[in-house]
Amino acid sequence: MDDGMSGFCIKSRIGGGGGGCGGRDSGTPSTDQIQKISSQLSFYGKIESKNVFYWFQNHKARERQKRRRVSSVAHEQHDQIHQDDKVSSAKHFVDVNQVSEPERVIETLQLFPLNTFNASESAKRRLFTNECKETDQMDHPPLDLRLSFL
């Protein structure tokens, strides 16, 4: 791992050697890439390729949704909107009001392992929220993958 970074910060080189990292991630990375990434991540926890795949998929989809116009009820936007999408989508909202997003997204994944109990306010909530589920055994790792664009 040439990353050499400490902690949980994995620089995702989705673009691989491809220099087209200009924020244009061509769909989901190849399976190989996913495998690779998941391998790296597996070191920090129980992260399978599946998770990585899901992550990329969701990420891409949501990014698209976010940027997609379809903001709804706009105002006098009589543009030739090609609303052919049969309008069946569910999450293409997001108002155009969304300020322009900085394109310097560095695609940095920050992993917050659940093991690290920050013991913050969340802990309190979690206490009563959980309310003991009989099964103390956490067979299902929540896998709290959290990404942050720096």
Q: Which of 91, 96, 101, 106 binds DNA (CB under 7 A)?
A: 91
Of the candidate spans 6-14, 54-62, 75-83, 96-104, the one that interacts with DNA by CB under 7 A turns out to be: 54-62
3-state secondary structure of 34: helix
One-letter amino acid identity for 91? K
User: What is the distance between the alpha carbons of residues 74 and 128, in angstroms, rounded to a whole number?
Assistant: 42
Query: For residue 34, which of 3, 61, 12 has the smallest C-alpha distance?
Result: 12
Number of residues that bind DNA (CB under 7 A): 42
Q: 37: how many CB neighbours lie within 10 A of its CB?
A: 23
Among DNA, a second copy, none, what does residue 121 contact (CB within 5–8 Å per kind)? DNA
Residues linked to residue 145 through DSSP beta bridges, in sequence order: 111
CA atoms lying within 13 Å on the CB side of residue 12: 29
Q: Which of 88, 115, 116, 118 binds a second copy (CB under 8 A)?
A: 88
Percentage helix, strand, coil for the chain under 3-state DSSP, each rounded to 5 = 25, 5, 65
Residues 105-124 that bind DNA (CB under 7 A): 114, 119-122, 124
Query: According to the binding rule CB under 7 A, does residue 143 interact with DNA?
Result: yes
Binding mask 17-56 toward a second copy (x if CB under 8 A, else -) reads: -xx----------xxx-xx--xx--x---x-xxx-xx---
Residues 23-42 that bind DNA (CB under 7 A): 27-28, 30-31
Q: Which of 26, 58, 72, 77 binds a second copy (CB under 8 A)?
A: 72
Q: Which of 33, 38, 40, 65 binds DNA (CB under 7 A)?
A: 65
Residue with tokens 């998770």: 51
